[in-house]
Amino acid sequence: QAYSPAAPFYFGAGLAFLAMLGMMALVRE
């Protein structure tokens, strides 16, 4: 199977990173 088990982890980490950046931007305003 060509499905890589690490894909959901990287996707979740990227999503959390973007959310953190968004929250920091909101707080700085």
Residue 21 belongs to what domain range? Answer: 1-29
Q: Tens digit of pLDDT for each residue in 1-29?
A: 567 778 888 889 999 999 999 999 999 87
- Give the pLDDT confidence score for residue 8 in this predicted structure: 85
Q: Is 22 helix (H, G, I), strand (E, B) or coil?
A: helix
Cα distance between residue 17 and residue 9, in whole Å: 12
- Give the pLDDT confidence score for residue 28 in this predicted structure: 86
Q: Is 4 helix (H, G, I), strand (E, B) or coil?
A: coil
- Give the pLDDT confidence score for residue 5 in this predicted structure: 77
Within the chain, residue ranges assigned H as helices are: 7-28
Give the DSSP letter of residue 2. -
- Into how many domains does the chain fold? 1
- Give the pLDDT confidence score for residue 1 in this predicted structure: 57
